[in-house]
Amino acid sequence: SYVLTQSPSVSVAPGQTARITCGGNNIGSKSVHWYQQKPGQAPVMVVYDDSDRPSGIPERFSGSNSGNTATLTISRVGAGDEADYYCQVWDSSSDHVVFGGGTKLTVL
Amino acid sequence: QVTLRESGPALVKPTQTLTLTCTFSGFSLSTSGMCVSWIRQPPGKALEWLALIDWDVDKYYSTSLKTRLTISKDTSKNQVVLTMTNMDPVDTATYYCARIQGSNPRMYYFDYWGQGTLVTVSS
C-alpha cells in the first residue's frame, strides 16, 4: 500500500517561513492535498491539487510537488498557524485515500 | 451552504456493531461527482481513512478494515451510514464524515467536514 511520510514536528519563529514535507514514492505523479487541524476541531483543507488554495485560505499558504516530496509552505507564520498538518492523496493502485501521519507545527 | 453532521452512540461495548449516520445538506449524493467518506482519528493520533461512497454505485474500503465495514447511502434522506462490526477498544476515536466533489479520483479531496463524533469502546 502507498505510504506518505511526514516529519512529526516542525518549529518556526513568528514571522518566519514554515516548510512541511510529505514524502511518497513518485508522489510528484499524484495530486496532493493538505489539511490544517487545530485542537478539538475538524480538519480544514488549506491546499488542494498540489498548489491551489480554497477560497478563504490566505496566500501565505502555498504548495509544491515534485519527485518524491510534496511541500506545504506557510510564510509569515503566526501563532494562529499552530496546528497539525496532514497531506493526503488518492492511491489509484489500491483505490484508497491515503493520509500522511501528520506534522505538528509549533510557533516558538 | 454545505453542512455534514455525524450521529451515533458515544459508547459501545466490545464485540458490538457500531452504526454511524452522516446527515448532510447543501448538496445531493445523486449528483455526478459527489462522494461522502468516513475518516476516523484516535485520540492524539493521525487521521485514518475508512470508506467512501460515490454518487453512482461505487464503494471503497480501507483494506485493513474492509471485512468489518459497510457503507451505504439514502439519497432521499441525504444520509450516509457506516457500520463497523466487532468493535474493540482500539477503535475508540473521533469519527468524521466528509464530502468529496470530483469525478476524477486523482482529485479526491475533502472540501467539507462534519464536526466529528467521539466513539468510545469500553465494557
Per-residue model confidence (pLDDT) at position B103: 81
Per-residue model confidence (pLDDT) at position A98: 98
Task: Give mean pLDDT, residues A49-73.
Answer: 97
* Cα–Cα distance, B71 to B84 (Å, whole number): 9
pLDDT, one tens digit per residue, over A73-94 is 999 999 999 999 999 999 999 9
pLDDT, one tens digit per residue, over B103-119 is 888 789 999 999 999 99
A81 SS3 class = helix
Cβ contact, residue pair B105, A42, below 8 Å: no
The CA distance from B116 to the nearest CA of chain A, in Å, is 7
List own/partner pairs for B28-31 with CB under 8 A and 24 or more apart: B28/B75, B28/B78, B29/B53, B29/B55, B29/B73, B29/B75, B29/B78, B29/B80, B30/B55, B30/B75, B31/B55
Q: Which residue of B has its CA nearest to A1?
A: B63
pLDDT, one tens digit per residue, over B43-93 is 999 999 999 999 998 999 999 999 999 999 999 999 999 999 999 999 999
Q: Is the pLDDT of residue B102 over 90?
A: no
Per-residue model confidence (pLDDT) at position B106: 79
B64 SS3 class = helix
Q: How far is CA B99 from CA A22, A44, A66, in A?
A: 23, 12, 27
Task: Give mean pLDDT, residues A12-25.
Answer: 98
For chain B, what is the mean pLDDT?
A: 96
A2–chain B Cβ distance below 8 A for any pair: no
Pick the closest to residue A31 from A105, A88, A102 (CA basis).
Answer: A88
For chain A, what is the mean pLDDT?
A: 97
* Cα–Cα distance, A34 to B72 (Å, whole number): 27
Q: Which residues pair with B107 in a beta bridge?
A: none
* Cα–Cα distance, B1 to B109 (Å, whole number): 18
The CA distance from B60 to the nearest CA of chain A, in Å, is 7
Per-residue model confidence (pLDDT) at position B107: 84
Cβ contact, residue pair B48, A99, below 8 Å: yes
Q: Is the pLDDT of residue B4 over 90?
A: yes
Q: How far is CA B102 from CA B36, B55, B82, B111, in A?
A: 11, 10, 21, 10
The CA angle B38-A23-B99, to the nearest 5 degrees, is 20
Task: Give mean pLDDT, residues A2-31.
Answer: 97
Per-residue model confidence (pLDDT) at position B20: 98
Chain B residues at the A interface, defined by Cβ less than 8 Å, are: 37, 39, 46-49, 52, 60, 62-63, 96, 105-111, 113-116
Per-residue model confidence (pLDDT) at position A58: 97
**Which residue type occupies B119?**
V
